[in-house]
Structure 1
Amino acid sequence: MTSVQVVSTVFGVGCVENDDIAVLDTPFPHVGAVIEATGSLDVLTRSPVRERVPLQGAALLAPLGTPRSVWGVGLNYRSKAAHTGRGLPSEPILYLGASSAVLAPDAEVSIPTGQTVEMDYEGEIAIVVGRRLYRAAPEEVWPSVAGITAANDMTARDVMRTTAAPTLAKSFPGFNPIGASVCTVDEFADLDRIPVRTWLNDELRQEDTSDGMIFSVPDLLSRISWFAALEPGDVVLTGTPAGTGQDRGSYLRPGDRIRIEVGPVLPLVTTVEASSRDHPSTRSSPSDMH
């Protein structure tokens, strides 16, 4: 696999090259479509460059479009378990999130008025499946991963308490920003220690690495694959470390700005909208139909 960092833009799919985006001559509407069709990002390294645009100020789309499946896991960092005083789970706490919750980078998300007063952020490492995984051994996982990106697995904590349903608490429109770029695994110096950091209004709130996970990436995806087949383009959110608003008893407010960094992935920035609206834009491509 060739090392590459890619984005989806209003101009098309592109590779990040220093301060520019090399927009590629490719038929794919977004990065997710590339992975679904080919199982990796390799084809993009052989695509001719159509034009170059500055990275600064570029309008980025949700890089994976609307994934068919978005898996999540609760309580998967030892730091989070220690902060809450809970014991380590013996099996992953899994759920499926609504793909309609996916939001583009640099977009705004609304607080669902009348439904939650405890909207929270969760900085996470997101894994994008490249090759079908079914009953896979842990050692089969990394060779089957097409890319890694950042995610903000937002949660309405009060909805979680009242419904006991993670899917409902995490599936409001815009509650799952993903991006801003997708990197191949070769972009990461150490896959056992992938860093994840979250800032809220320029204050560092979360900082950990994948070494702090209870169920490692290979273990987690292997366990899921023994019950459900993971298909190319599916996304697995791998849990969040300590430092969420829940841990501080402080929740998101209009105007808050969340910034999540996962290794070399472009920062994922989301702003809580100052005034409510029903459907925050995913800025997905018009041809993004699955």
Structure 2
Amino acid sequence: MRLYRTTAGLARGEGDELALLDLPHLDVADLLSEGIERARRARVRSRIPIHDAVLLSPVALPGTVVIAGANYRDHVTEAGMPTPTAPVFITVTGMSATGPHDPILLPAEAPSQVDYEAELAVVISRPGRDIPVGRAWDHVAGLIAVNDVSARDVQLAAMTEGVVTDIDGVRRGKSFPHFKPMGPALVTVDETGTDLDLAIRTYVNDEVRQDSRTSEMIFSVPEVISHVSATTPLLPGDVVLTGTPGGVALATGHYLRSGDVVTVEIEGLGRLRNPVRMAPTAPR
């Protein structure tokens, strides 16, 4: 099942149409309180062409966004980081979550080194702590694409030789408004399977910047979930990002500029396409 959140409510993707569902839930996280399967059984109240829908982030406001780092070898190499022996991650709030076509906003205080990061992410379906690797998929509602936008100058000021020395500084570099485009749909695991080998790409103005496969991850999705849950309880609607491949602007110096358009594609999950704009300045 492909489950979308739109301005007209939750919808199932059915070919080139969206079946708008007769559900009271505001977003996927709200639906998870009763189980994702309710969306499969829900009555269809109307249908619209998918290209006519205004798509929103499937989870309106994740309670926690887990950001795994250093999980593709080529990215570890280009970033000059040590190869991890276990998953590494930080957590941020969901305040930066935004829709699959919303603008990425360059913050006024740090506009010059804003980077893209294509990431496969999972949405947590039920609470868990100390989740065994073999049971991790039982806690997954589905998969989404995320662009883990980062202000590198802010982030790197909080690191020394690839090692985090100021966790709050790293969080700040990844938490500006509109820094986490998500979507376009939550795709349930029965659609993708659990042996993930999905193409993952980023384009900036139609130029390929990242081109890899999720099978190149150092740690699998279940290993990331298990490791995170050992210290961070996971709750329904939390979003767990699993790392980005090589090709980021940190390595090339080709950072985002106002007027750019960033496209993140993950095979079987869909496409994020976000214009880049300067953030509006606060009135004096």
Q: Same fold (TM over 0.5)?
A: yes
> Which stretch has the larger CA shift, 76-85 or 146-155?
76-85
- Alpha-carbon contact 1:116-1:159 (below 8 Å) kept: no
Match of 2:280 among 268, 277, 281: 277
> Which stretch has the larger CA shift, 148-157 or 92-101?
92-101
Residues 101-159 of structure 1: per-residue CA shift (max 9 Å, x gap): 11112111221123241000000001111122211110101122101000000011100
- Shift of the 93–56 alpha-carbon distance from structure 1 to 2, 3 Å rule, reads same
What residue number does 1:166 align with?
170
- Alpha-carbon contact 1:188-1:263 (below 8 Å) kept: no
The whole-number CA distance in structure 2 between the counterparts of 1:276 and 1:11 is 27
The whole-number CA distance in structure 2 between the counterparts of 1:51 and 1:266 is 23
Deviation at 1:189, TM superposition (A): 4.9
Q: Is 1:267 paired with 2:268?
A: no
Residues 21-50 of structure 1: per-residue CA shift (max 9 Å, x gap): 000001111222112x13x42110100000
What residue number does 1:47 align with?
42
What residue number does 2:108 align with?
113
2:201 partner letter: R
What residue number does 1:98 align with?
93
The whole-number CA distance in structure 2 between the counterparts of 1:59 and 1:278 is 26
Match of 2:11 among 10, 14, 25: 14
The whole-number CA distance in structure 2 between the counterparts of 1:163 and 1:116 is 17
What residue number does 2:249 align with?
245
What residue number does 1:28 align with?
25
- Shift of the 194–133 alpha-carbon distance from structure 1 to 2, 3 Å rule, reads farther
Q: Secondary structure at the match of 1:45?
A: helix
The whole-number CA distance in structure 1 between the counterparts of 2:101 and 2:177 is 15
What residue number does 1:196 align with?
200
Match of 1:138 among 133, 137, 152: 133
Aligned length: 273
What residue number does 1:59 align with?
54
Where does the alignment leave 5 or more consecutive residues of structure 1 unmatched?
Answer: 280-290
The whole-number CA distance in structure 2 between the counterparts of 1:30 and 1:229 is 21
What residue number does 1:283 align with?
none
1:247 partner letter: A
- Alpha-carbon contact 1:98-1:167 (below 8 Å) kept: no
Q: Secondary structure at the match of 1:107?
A: coil
- Alpha-carbon contact 2:108-2:281 (below 8 Å) kept: no
- Shift of the 92–278 alpha-carbon distance from structure 1 to 2, 3 Å rule, reads farther
Deviation at 1:263, TM superposition (A): 2.2
The whole-number CA distance in structure 1 between the counterparts of 2:242 and 2:26 is 26
Higher strand share: 2
Residue identity over aligned pairs, in percent, reads 34
Q: Secondary structure at the match of 2:90?
A: strand
What residue number does 2:119 align with?
124
2:40 partner letter: T
Residues 136-186 of structure 1: per-residue CA shift (max 9 Å, x gap): 110101122101000000011100122343211000000111111110011
- Alpha-carbon contact 1:185-1:191 (below 8 Å) kept: no
Q: Secondary structure at the match of 2:77?
A: helix
| TM-score normalised to structure 2 length | 0.91
Where does the alignment leave 5 or more consecutive residues of structure 2 unmatched?
Answer: 160-168
- Alpha-carbon contact 1:134-1:230 (below 8 Å) kept: yes
- Alpha-carbon contact 1:106-1:269 (below 8 Å) kept: yes
The whole-number CA distance in structure 2 between the counterparts of 1:278 and 1:48 is 44
Q: Is 1:228 paired with 2:232?
A: yes
The whole-number CA distance in structure 2 between the counterparts of 1:259 and 1:150 is 11
Match of 2:71 among 63, 76, 79: 76
Match of 2:182 among 175, 178, 189: 178
